[in-house]
Structure 1
Amino acid sequence: MSRFKENDLPKAKLNASSLNKALLIFKYADNHKWKFYLGLGFLLLTGGTALAFPKLMGILIDCVKNNDLSKANSIALGLVGILFLQSFFSFFRISLFVNYTENTLANLRLALYSNLIKLPMPFFTQKSAGELNSRISTDINQISDTLATTIAEFLRQFILIIGSFILLASINLKLTLMMISIVPLVAVAAVIFGRFIRKYSKNLQDQVADSQSIVVESLQAITVVKAFANEWYEIARYKNKISEVVKVAIKGGNYRGYFASFIIFCLFGTIVAVVWYGVTLSIKGEMTVGDLISFVLYSTYVGASSGGIAELYTQIQKAVGATERVFELLDETPEKINTSQNQSTEKIKGNVSFQNVSFSYPSRPEIQVLKDVNFTANFGQKIAIVGPSGAGKSTISSLLLRFYDIDGGLILIDDKNIYEYDLENLRGNMSIVPQDVILFGGSIRENIAYGKPNATEEEIMIAAKQANAFDFVNGFPEKFDTLVGERGIKLSGGQRQRIAIARALLKNPSILILDEATSSLDSESEKLVQQALENLMEGRTSIIIAHRLSTIRNADAILVLNDGKIAEKGTHKELLEIENGIYKNLSNLQFSEY
């Protein structure tokens, strides 16, 4: 069972090129950049107050030796003030970075989605929806975490390490050199060992997930398991996987035991060694007890920050990689589409002509789907296209909608090259009713109005009546406010088709494409949908891609596609008269089934 998490994101190497690419994200900040710079200011103040704390603690401890209560009280108040300032600075640092990040990423998300939705169809045939969704969710979440917290924390830890080392050297150089020779080595070893433990824990999680997949699969297919009397087999399969989980878990437990032993002996042993040497120096009079306390606290800063900064660096690498992947999508060239809601569509009449059109899909250039296709559909005509699966029927509709560019020939609409039309205006004059209607997860009203977002209530009602949808919609308690569910799952196939027809009617297209619009319906639904389609086809050019030949008997012309070519052309009656014709054979085959 595959599981993709943010922790599994690939890391990018940090170099001049990748960093320059990542820095492009700042251009999406607009007028929020000042928040980032002000946040950096508060970050420096947070680091400064944090570094002052151990020094004042050391001075406070030395008040015991000097028996100076008044100074102790002043230093204690100073420490409280330091803590207050640090809290104040930390709040504004976090608040400003989050504010900056959310506004910047809102702009980035909008820019990414706006570019994504305008990309041409060949792009979507090569990318899965899951992968693209990951760019908008997982990758941007990684960037969000890094901008909001990781960068700030990385810089804070860096300030603490550098500042602590300077102050350690100012307290006692001998003890600092001794600490430098031991502590970093132990800290690095602890980080490496900790990473190994986490990696092994992930392996254990994978094993457990695999064992759970056996449970899920067997329960989902319980009828098959019982029909084959294979309960024993599933139990044995699960037992073997559980045994593997136990072995991995025990081994992981031993590794965690080694890690705990390492921490106790090495890390705490190092602390003991540093403190012992500090005490020795204090006894010799080379440093005070307060200095020793300050030294220990600064050493703790160095150790904790050194351990954390490696993980933060890894997160930054992942964020840079995520930024590169996001900008790959932003760099893709979109179709020239106007995204304004107030665009006007210049009406075309609807005469369509294919002249020697050849086409191969970009993903399969070696396979020619259409070969020198010629046909004409005049205004108001119903042109049906039939043929076996893979003959290229749906490809014709894709080319009419300019989802793809043709390899050769011409497509004319009203005697004008299809590529001379504004893409928006061209598609604005067309509607398609597909076989598998996909509705959006809103209300019925919203789905019908998708054909004309600024439609009036009366226009929506008229479209619903013409599409034979009004009666069933009115039968719902919420009527036109009924939610259709994801992809329209709450409606039947026939109901979805009629909503799609109402949507197309509302758009009032000049050219209508019906892509096997009734092939998956039962007889009763097909009758209602067919009536609605007759209303829809009236007064416009219709290209009907048909599977059921009974639905196209009255077409003005029927084109029979075979192996990418138009093998036969004529009316239903004319095609039936062709001896051993493809259409006649298809017709005999279909009608013999009834």
Structure 2
Amino acid sequence: MSLFKAALRSPPICPPQPLPSQPRLLLGVGLRSVGRSGSIRVWRGVHSPARPLAQLRSGSEVLRGLRFQSTSTSTSPAPTPPAQGTSSPSPAVQSLAHSPASPSLSPPSLPSIPSTTEPPPTPSLPKRSLLGRLLPSSLVPAPESASNVWKLFRLAGPERRPLTIGVGLLLVSSSVTMSIPFTIGKLIDFFSNPGNSTFLGLSFTSASALLFSLFLLGALANTGRVILMRTSGQRIVARIRNRAYASALRQEVDFVERQGGGSGDIVSRLNADTYIVGDSVTGNLSDGLRAIVTASVGLGLMFYLSSKLTLVMLAVVPPISIGAVFYGRYLKKLSNQTQEALGDMSRVPCFQVAEETLSAIRTVQASNSYPMEEATFAQKVQLVFDLARKEALASGLFFGGTGFSGNVTILTLLGYGGSLVARGEISVGDLTSLLLYTAYVGGALSNLSGFFSSLMRGVGAGERVFSLIDRVPAVRPGVGEEFVPSARGVIRFENVGFTYPSRPDVMVLKGFNMELRTGESVALVGKSGSGKSSVQALLLRYYDPTHGRITFNGRDIREYTPESWRATIGYVPQEPVLFSGTIASNIAYGRQGATLEEIVAAAQQANCDFVDAFPLGYETPVGRNSLSGGQRQRIAIARALLRRPAILCLDEATAALDAVSEYRVNDAIQRIISSKNTSSIVVAHRLSTITTAERLVVLEDGKITESGTYRELASRENSRFRALMAAQLNVAAGEKSMLDEVSEATESDSDGETAVGEEEPEEQVIDDVHDQKKIKAKAASMQ
């Protein structure tokens, strides 16, 4: 009992371990030679991160380029492998020794830091096993399937103790179960012969008590087996879900949002696939072992009772076994397609009804879009239904065929067994026991085929889960040095070129060069799609530049860990997200250990005065849409302020706000910028936002076309910025006089009265000081 309790308690569910700040780097060095025997020799080196990351990466680039492959026509000798018992130089030294020219050894500059993708391994022909040479290829499981099967069973490693006890209890319960047909047969013979006074050498009362105790033991063993197997299975599911979720959080943004790894697909892997995997290595394993024990013991007792009848029964086993193999592989393929279709449905808008369509129910009803939404959803449902129907058809044919084979076997045994009873070779009780064992063995073989099919289903789901767990993100967490949070300096974009992974042919940024000094405020202006948000995405290291580099005080930001670098950046998106929790927890999101005083101070600095009006104050529960746009935006600003950022990124933070909310948000932003301790990059279109920036950078088609202060660009003739502002104000070519009037009013408000006789320039500065004064007055009246 103590062992049973201990098995239930251990091992605990371990949370995902944090990634080390400087993990051990494995840099493969290939020195390949094809000798006379045709064998390929590959030596690999392991390097520790003792040197700076830039040198490691540069070195790895050089070493990866030093690959030598000799052929029959090559004159260069093949490298000699080190002799045993002698110390061999490292692969790096060997590579350098075989270098054809020293200039190729110069490390590349930081702008050419390569991606972390390793070169593809050298292809080799797999060896075929004896089974693969004897059987057709369609009957032999693929090597990757076998590898995934072992991956599944390795998940059960931490559960050895409870699973071992569970297997022992399974053997006990199965043995008791297999004694029932034998006992029934002996009871029939006992009652058929009135002259018998003993049953199995005991009195009938004693034998009944013994059987009752035996059956009770079997019931207790079966109970313990189910409890241990299921609790172990849930621990495995919890463990693999934690690992998969931790891996999903560390993937690059593009994978989660675009490349087949949308949130719906990832949730499908975390939910359905992990459950299938956990069930495959526990519940399915238990059923498979039970089927093996039942079939083995049943066949042994059948041979003991009548070898002739047993051989007749075995005539149907090979067809069932071959059918199970074919069915298992086909079912694995269908299971993969069905799971991918379910992930597809979770990813596309038609299946996000609860999250998207119902949240926009006003628009749906106002547009009378019911038929369109229903038709789109029905198409995806039909796709999954078609796949499920194929799987159902395959299952029905298989189980129908095995059931028919079992019934024919029983009829054959009855006919042939009846003749044996008539000749006196076996008793009626033995024939009954043998028929019962036939049913038991047939059911066990059916369960065994089901075990194989479920195992293949688990392999199919495991491939999707392991592909997420084992995936190496493009921006690797924990790689590099720790960035000092208090550091301040100059950020430079040096000849940066960038393409999104989902659109590799579209260059979003082209030769982008920009400098952001300490405490400076820069506003990025341009049409939609000009690359403004991409600049912030690169600065936040959601992606790395395709070409060029981004430096902080002369050092490439890729030399720092993404976590420590992002910790110094405050980000306020256009549509801020509030998580389920309180206002305080949302402000403190990403800043562990923040005190209530710090939270309140950040909220006050962000003009979150509306919090005091709530009865629960900062403990008020909030969700995604429980506050207005301006309130959510100010909470997002308070969240950014709490981090004490060195860099502040604002992505059209006031685009969806009304005039009063915009003024309050801009006032909070201006407080941050005026401190001169935080550099800021603002993406905006509205005049009220960009007029406060110290420098404007106009982007067009991924390039900088203009740069300067607001007044310089607005007063410049043929300015792209002036054209953008005119388009924003909806000023047509024939309404130039209205634009001049706005410019004159702006100039008079900013610089006072114009001197008598002084002639105004033809193109006046565009400003919205009038608008800001009106907004300020309206805000004061509302307070």
Category of TM-score, reference length = shorter chain: 0.7 to 0.9
Residues 409 and 188 (structure 1 numbering): CA distance in 2 closer, same or farther, change over 3 Å? closer
Letter in 2 for 1:516: E
Residues 221 and 500 (structure 1 numbering): CA distance in 2 closer, same or farther, change over 3 Å? closer
Q: Take 1:333 and 1:505, find their aligned partners in 2: how far apart are those partners?
A: 32
Partner of 2:492: 353
Q: Take 1:13 and 1:345, find their aligned partners in 2: how far apart are those partners?
A: 56
Q: CA deviation at 1:468?
A: 1.5
Residues 122 and 499 (structure 1 numbering): CA distance in 2 closer, same or farther, change over 3 Å? same
Partner of 1:59: 186
Instruction: Specify which of 431, 447, 454 is matched with residue 292 of structure 1.
Output: 431
Letter in 2 for 1:300: A
RMSD: 4.0
Q: Take 1:351 and 1:261, find their aligned partners in 2: how far apart are those partners?
A: 74
Matched, 1:23 2:112: no
Matched, 1:167 2:301: yes
Instruction: Specify which of 237, 240, 244 is matched with residue 108 of structure 1.
Output: 240
Q: Take 2:420 and 2:285, find their aligned partners in 1: how far apart are those partners?
A: 39
Matched, 1:93 2:225: yes
Structure 1 residues not aligned, in runs of 5+: 1-11, 207-212, 239-244
3-state secondary structure, aligned to 2:230: helix
Q: CA deviation at 1:458?
A: 0.8
Partner of 2:285: 151
Q: CA deviation at 1:107?
A: 2.5
Residues 260 and 435 (structure 1 numbering): CA distance in 2 closer, same or farther, change over 3 Å? closer
Matched, 1:400 2:532: no
Letter in 1 for 2:297: G
Q: Take 1:432 and 1:260, find their aligned partners in 2: how far apart are those partners?
A: 58
Q: CA deviation at 1:225?
A: 6.4
Letter in 2 for 1:155: L
Partner of 1:372: 511
Q: CA deviation at 1:579?
A: 1.9
Deviations 1:19-42 (A, max 9, x none): 333323455556432222222222
Partner of 2:638: 502
Matched, 1:528 2:664: yes
Contact 2:498 2:509 in 1 (8 A): yes
Residues 338 and 355 (structure 1 numbering): CA distance in 2 closer, same or farther, change over 3 Å? closer
Contact 1:190 1:263 in 2 (8 A): no
3-state secondary structure, aligned to 2:282: helix
Q: Which one scores higher on RCO, CA 8 angstroms, separation ≥ 6?
A: 1
Q: Take 2:273 and 2:167, find their aligned partners in 1: how far apart are those partners?
A: 24
Report which stretch shifted further, 282-291 or 101-110.
101-110
Q: CA deviation at 1:548?
A: 1.4
Q: CA deviation at 1:86?
A: 1.5
Letter in 1 for 2:215: L
Q: How does 1:450-529 map to 2 (within 5 A)?
A: 450-469=589-608, 471-485=609-623, 488-529=624-665
Letter in 2 for 1:482: T
Residues 192 and 50 (structure 1 numbering): CA distance in 2 closer, same or farther, change over 3 Å? farther
Aligned length in residues: 544
Q: Take 1:530 and 1:370, find their aligned partners in 2: how far apart are those partners?
A: 28
Residues 85 and 566 (structure 1 numbering): CA distance in 2 closer, same or farther, change over 3 Å? same
Q: Take 1:346 and 1:464, find their aligned partners in 2: how far apart are those partners?
A: 21
3-state secondary structure, aligned to 1:450: coil
Instruction: Specify which of 303, 306, 320 is matched with residue 442 of structure 2.
Output: 303
Partner of 1:570: 708
Q: CA deviation at 1:292?
A: 1.3
Contact 1:35 1:97 in 2 (8 A): yes
Partner of 1:129: 263
Partner of 1:33: 160
Q: CA deviation at 1:263?
A: 11
Identity of aligned residues (%): 36
3-state secondary structure, aligned to 2:505: coil
Q: Take 1:31 and 1:465, find their aligned partners in 2: how far apart are those partners?
A: 50
Deviations 1:447-492 (A, max 9, x none): 10114221111111111111121x322222332222222xx22111
Partner of 1:6: none
Letter in 2 for 1:584: R
Partner of 1:317: 456
Partner of 1:142: 276
Contact 1:183 1:270 in 2 (8 A): no
Matched, 1:79 2:211: yes
3-state secondary structure, aligned to 1:412: strand
Contact 1:60 1:75 in 2 (8 A): no
Q: Take 2:326 and 2:470, find their aligned partners in 1: how far apart are those partners?
A: 38
Contact 2:156 2:281 in 1 (8 A): no
Q: CA deviation at 1:45?
A: 2.2
Q: Take 2:576 and 2:584, find their aligned partners in 1: how far apart are those partners?
A: 16
Contact 1:94 1:148 in 2 (8 A): no
Q: What TM-score do the two structures reach when normalised by structure 1?
A: 0.81
Q: CA deviation at 1:297?
A: 1.0
Q: Take 1:546 and 1:588, find their aligned partners in 2: how far apart are those partners?
A: 15
Q: Take 2:240 and 2:718, find their aligned partners in 1: how far apart are those partners?
A: 60
Q: Take 1:401 and 1:142, find their aligned partners in 2: how far apart are those partners?
A: 37
3-state secondary structure, aligned to 1:325: helix
Matched, 1:386 2:525: yes
Deviations 1:113-161 (A, max 9, x none): 2222122334334221111111111110101222231111012112212
Contact 2:478 2:561 in 1 (8 A): no
Partner of 2:33: none
Q: Take 1:324 and 1:109, find their aligned partners in 2: how far apart are those partners?
A: 14
Q: CA deviation at 1:13?
A: 8.2
Q: CA deviation at 1:221?
A: 6.3
Contact 1:187 1:303 in 2 (8 A): no
Residues 123 and 41 (structure 1 numbering): CA distance in 2 closer, same or farther, change over 3 Å? same
Residues 511 and 185 (structure 1 numbering): CA distance in 2 closer, same or farther, change over 3 Å? closer
Q: Take 2:653 and 2:710, find their aligned partners in 1: how far apart are those partners?
A: 19
Q: Take 1:226 and 1:105, find their aligned partners in 2: how far apart are those partners?
A: 40
Q: Take 1:121 and 1:130, find their aligned partners in 2: how far apart are those partners?
A: 14
Contact 2:236 2:278 in 1 (8 A): no
Letter in 2 for 1:473: V
Q: CA deviation at 1:61?
A: 1.7
Between Structure 1 and Structure 2, the one with more helix by share is: 1
Deviations 1:174-220 (A, max 9, x none): 22233334698799999999x99xx9xxx9xx9xxxxxx9xx99x99
Letter in 2 for 1:549: L
Residues 367 and 269 (structure 1 numbering): CA distance in 2 closer, same or farther, change over 3 Å? closer
Instruction: Specify which of 562, 566, 570 is matched with residue 431 of structure 1.
Output: 570
Structure 2 residues not aligned, in runs of 5+: 1-138, 342-349, 379-384, 732-770, 772-783
Q: CA deviation at 1:344?
A: 9.0
Q: Take 2:365 and 2:642, find their aligned partners in 1: how far apart are those partners?
A: 47
Q: Take 2:665 and 2:364, find their aligned partners in 1: how far apart are those partners?
A: 36
Q: Take 2:158 and 2:643, find their aligned partners in 1: how far apart are those partners?
A: 40
Letter in 2 for 1:395: S
Letter in 2 for 1:382: S
Q: How does 1:531-542 map to 2 (within 5 A)?
A: 531-539=667-675, 540-542=678-680
Contact 2:324 2:449 in 1 (8 A): no
Matched, 1:446 2:573: no
Q: CA deviation at 1:363?
A: 2.4
Matched, 1:117 2:249: yes
Q: Take 2:619 and 2:487, find their aligned partners in 1: how far apart are those partners?
A: 34
Letter in 1 for 2:289: L
Contact 1:184 1:306 in 2 (8 A): no
3-state secondary structure, aligned to 1:384: strand
Residues 117 and 94 (structure 1 numbering): CA distance in 2 closer, same or farther, change over 3 Å? same
Residues 511 and 53 (structure 1 numbering): CA distance in 2 closer, same or farther, change over 3 Å? same
